[in-house]
Chain A
C-alpha cells in the first residue's frame, strides 16, 4: 500500500461512524439547498447557478465515496461493514461501489441538463428532484432492512415520476410519466405485499434476522406464503430494473421523458434496483435455496434473465426510433445483469465472482448508456428527428460527439476493444464456471444480435449521406458535449481500469456471502 493511501485511510478511520453516510447526506442537503436558493432568490434564469450547485453536490458525494472506497471504509480489510440505526443501514464495499455509479451518472446528467433546460421554467425543481432521486438511490444501496429498502425505493421512484413528466406541456412526456407512475404504483404495492408476507413468516424485517430465521427453522408450514412473498419481492425488483415481466413502462418512459432523464433512469435507477436485489436476495433469502422445501428463486431469476435478454434485444432490433431502440437495449442489459442473481447457488464457490461481474458490468454500463442517451439529448436539443434516417450524416456536423457515440455503441454491443467487452466476458465466464453455461450462451447469442442494431446507428451517423435536415444545427451545447466526451473517456479508460473495477466489485460481492 502506498503512503498516501495509508494516510487517507488513517484519516477516515478517525471520523465518527455516522460519516459513513456522508455521500447520502451531501446529496440530500444539496437538493434542499437548491430549493432554498430558489425560495429566497426566485430568479427566472438562474439555470447556471442551480447546475453548478447540484453538480458540485454530486461531485463532492462522488469524491467522498471514492475516498471511502480507497480508504477501505466498511470493507473486509478495515473491520467489515459499518451498521447504523440498529442495523437498518449498512455501509460496505457494495454500497460504496454503487453509490459511485449513481453519483457519477447524476453528475454527467446534471452537466448535460444545463443546456437541455435552457428556456424552460422551474429548473431549480428539476435539479432538486434529480438530487432527491439520487439520494433515494444512494439510500437503497445502504439499506439493510426491508423497511429501508421500501422507503428508499419510493424515495427514488417518486421524484423520478415527476422528472419524466417534467415537460408538462409535451403530450409524450405526460403520457410517459402517467404510464411510469401507474406501473410503478402497482409494482410497489405488489412489492410491499411481498414484504408483509415475509414479515408474516419470519417476524422480522431486518435482512440478517430474516436470513437467520430461515436458516434456523426453515419455512415450516408457511412455505407457500414465503414463496409467494419472495416472488412478489422479485416482481418489485423486476419493475425497478426494467426486466420482464414488468418492463412495459421502460420503452414508453424512456422515449417520452426528456433525454437526460432517460439517461438517468436507464443507468442509475436500473443499477439501484440491482443493488437492493443483490443485497436482499444474497443476504436474506440465500438460506431458502437449501432448506426443505426449497424456494428456488435463483431458477426464477434464470428464467427472467433469459426472457429479458431475448425480449429486450429482439424488440430493439425492430425499432425505427433511436431512443426507443436504446430503451429496449437497456432492457436487454438488465437481462445480462440478472445473470448475477440467476447463477447463484447455495454455498456456491463462484457466487462472489458472478455477482461481482454483474456489478462491474453495471458500472461500465452506467457510463456507456448514459453517454448514448446524452447523445440523443443533444440531437433532441438540435431538433433533428428521432429515427435512424434522421441521424444520417451527423458526423459531418459533430465529428467528436459522433466518435463518442460510436464508442458507446460498440461498447454496448461488447466489441473486444471497449470496456463493455470485458464486463460481458467476465460475466459470461463466471456464469460458465458456476455451471450455468446456458445463461452465458443465451447472453452471447443476444449480444451478437445486438451488434446489428447498434451498428445501424454507427452506419447512419458515419456512412450515410445527410438528407438535408441537419441545417437546423446551429449551436454547440458545451455542457452536453463535455458530458458526452467525459462518458466516452470513462468508457475507454475502464478498459485498462477494468481489472481494478472487477477486483473491487468481486471483493464487495464476496463479503455478502462470507
Chain B
C-alpha cells in the first residue's frame, strides 16, 4: 500500500496549483477551474484516508463535496454571466465601481 504521506503530498500539490491559479488568473472562468482543483485536492485526502482508516465517512463526504462543487459552479457561472452583461468582460479585475 502507498504510504499515506504520499497522498498528503499529492493533495497539497494539487491544492497549491489551484491556489496559484486563483491568485494569478484574471479570467473568472479560470478562477472557477482553479477552485475546482482545490476542492478536489481535499477529495483526494478524504478518499485516501477513508481507505487508511477503514471507514466510509471520507468517501461519502467526497460525494457530497462533488455535488456542492457543482452547485457552486452553477451559481458562479450565473454571476459571471451577469458580470459579462454589465461590464462586457469576464475579467475579475475590471469590475471596479467601488474602491477597496
Contacts and interface: CB of A to CB of B under 8 A. Distances in A.
| A joins B in a complex | yes
Range class of the B interface residue count: 35 or more
Interface in A146-183: 147, 150-151, 154, 158, 161-162, 165, 168-169, 171-172, 174-179, 181-182
A176 B41 CA distance: 28
Interface in A193-243: 193, 195-197, 199-200, 203-205, 225
B94 to A, nearest CB: 9
B86 to A, nearest CB: 5
B98 interface: yes
A165 B97 contact: no
B95 A199 contact: no
Contacts of A151: 64, 68
A147 B61 contact: yes
Contacts of B46: 196, 199
A189 B71 contact: no
Nearest to A162: B75
Contacts of A178: 28, 79-80, 83, 92, 95
B58 A154 contact: no
B5 to A, nearest CB: 9
A252 B42 CA distance: 29
Contacts of B64: 147, 150-151
Interface string B58-83: 10110011001001100110111011
Nearest to B35: A185
Nearest to B15: A193
Contact of A185 (B8, B32, B49, B60): B32
Contact of B71 (A158, A168, A171, A203): A158
A165 B72 contact: no
A193 B86 contact: no
**Interface hub of A165, A181, A256 (most chain B Cβ within 10 A):** A181
Contacts of B72: 154, 158, 185, 188
A204 B39 CA distance: 19
A196 B39 CA distance: 10
Given A147-B64, A162-B75, A175 B95 contact: yes
B97 A199 contact: no
B76 A181 contact: yes
A436 interface: no
Contacts of B31: 182, 185
A88 B64 CA distance: 14
A141 B53 CA distance: 29
A190 interface: yes
A382 interface: no
Contact of A193 (B4, B41, B53, B57): B41
Contact of B68 (A154, A193, A255): A154
Contacts of A203: 49, 52-53, 55, 57
A381 interface: no
A252 B100 contact: yes
B24 interface: no
**Interface hub of A177, A193, A205 (most chain B Cβ within 10 A):** A193
A186 B79 CA distance: 15
Nearest to A228: B12
B38 A190 contact: yes
A172 B97 contact: yes
A197 B7 CA distance: 11
B59 to A, nearest CB: 11
Contact of A199 (B35, B58, B75, B83): B58
Interface string B24-37: 00001001100100
B45 A196 contact: yes
Contact of A171 (B22, B58, B79, B87): B87
A248 interface: yes
Given A174-B79, A181-B79, A186-B35, A169 B86 contact: yes
A415 interface: no
Contacts of B11: 193, 196
Contact of B75 (A179, A181, A196, A248): A181
Contacts of B95: 171, 174-175, 178-179
Contact of B4 (A158, A182, A200): A200
A193 B43 CA distance: 8
A91 to B, nearest CB: 22
Nearest to A158: B75
- Top 4 A-B residue pairs of the complex, sorted by shortest distance between their CB atoms: A203-B53, A196-B45, A189-B38, A196-B42
10 contacts: A168-B86, A171-B97, A189-B39, A192-B39, A193-B38, A196-B41, A199-B49, A203-B49, A225-B8, A252-B100
Given A179-B95, A255-B98, A256-B97, 13 more contacts: A172-B97, A172-B98, A174-B82, A175-B97, A175-B98, A177-B82, A181-B76, A182-B92, A192-B65, A196-B45, A205-B58, A251-B100, A252-B98
Interface of A: 147, 150-151, 154, 158, 161-162, 165, 168-169, 171-172, 174-179, 181-182, 185-186, 188-190, 192-193, 195-197, 199-200, 203-205, 225, 248, 251-252, 255-256
